[in-house]
Amino acid sequence: MSEPSSANFPDSIANDTSLLADPANLQQFVLDGDHNDSITTISVTSVIAGVTAPGYIRIGTELIHFTGISSADFTGCTRGADGTVAAAHSSAAAVYSSIAANYWKQMKKEVIATQTFILGNAGWLPANETWTYASATTFTITGDKTDKYSVGMKLKLTQTTVKYFYVVGVSYSDPNTTVTIAQNTDYTFANAAATDPYYSGEQNPVGFPHWFNYAPTYGGFSTPPSSTISRFRIEGRTVFVHESENGVGTSNATTFTISLPVQAKTQANSYWMGACGFVTGGTPLTGACRWSVSTGGTTVSIYANMASAAFSGSGDKRAYLEYYYEI
């Protein structure tokens, strides 16, 4: 490995080898015999231990970059590294393993490259892989990517136009990782190539809409509410939903349910609940109604009051609510 002249990021992640900075490379040895200013193998009087290649050694004011170690020899040496001057050295001269100035220069390059990339991509990271359509809510990636993607992450891809989605599931079964996305009515994940794939764990990557429309199914109606607004967003593992029904529906049951945009988490002895507003017969109720999402549920249930009263199985009904639950 020669001295690097450019940053590794974003094509690869920097490590001790690419940064030429293994912390172990801080030892002293004794030069074995005279060495001229061009020899590319530097020999010392003892077996080299506790030092890894590639790295740097310093003799006098000369820095020497080595690519290998063989017993008591530093091999593959570049003399006069990092702008120093190659020189002849006498036997018994001190040989120091060294974190050279080039390391700090490489660190500078990596930092600048990282900052430039993050700012230039506005909070998005390139996936650098192929996302293969599996269904309207799933795609696959070759290999185990469960340490790369997680629930709540944001995705950006292009299928003729730019599309955005939330990640709501990640699983691996050799040889592929399956990523599940939250279906919405603003963007359709089509059975087509997904180009320019990006992902983000940032709170507000540029362009991401955050709130998405979806088309729920209503239970307890012969004719469901009309002129509805059903929107959701996901923060981490919490789903927030806004439901506004501007036209009444015709009731045919004592229950009232609305399908969730994403299934709730299955967690023993848990459910989520709160208050909501309700209209029946064109008249808003003076007291609050109650909403509830059960563990592992796929619907939110609405009750006529906070004591879970049932609705009339006839007439009209509609509700207004903001609710949340865990996924």
Condensed to tens digits (0 to 9), the pLDDT of residues 266-286 reads 999 889 999 998 877 656 666
Residue 89 pLDDT level (bands cut at 50, 70, 90) = very high
pTM higher than the cut 0.75? no
| Nearest-angstrom CA–CA distance, 273 and 300 | 9
Question: How high is the pLDDT of residue 2?
Answer: 47
Question: How high is the pLDDT of residue 140?
Answer: 98
323: pLDDT strictly greater than 80? yes
Per the model's pLDDT, the better-predicted residue between 21 and 293 turns out to be 293
Question: How high is the pLDDT of residue 4?
Answer: 54
Quick one: tokens of 48? 């080299």
25: pLDDT strictly greater than 70? no
Question: How high is the pLDDT of residue 264?
Answer: 97
- 293 Cβ partners below 8 Å, 6+ apart? 260, 264, 271, 272, 273, 299, 300, 301, 323, 325
What would the mean pLDDT of 46-59 be, rounded to a whole number?
89
Q: Cis omega before residue 261 (within 30°)?
A: no
Residue 1 pLDDT level (bands cut at 50, 70, 90) = very low
Pick from 1, 52, 65, 45: which is nearest to 22 by CA?
52
Per the model's pLDDT, the better-predicted residue between 81 and 13 turns out to be 81
DSSP-derived letter for residue 106 is H
| Nearest-angstrom CA–CA distance, 271 and 235 | 18
Per the model's pLDDT, the better-predicted residue between 306 and 170 turns out to be 170
Which secondary-structure segment (H or E) carries 242? Answer: strand 238-247
What would the mean pLDDT of 26-44 be, rounded to a whole number?
94
230 strand-pairing partners:
243
> Which domains occur in the chain, in start order?
28-118 (no CATH), 125-200 (2.40.30), 212-326 (2.60.90)
**Per-residue pLDDT reduced to its tens digit, 129-170:** 999 999 999 999 999 999 999 999 999 999 999 999 999 999
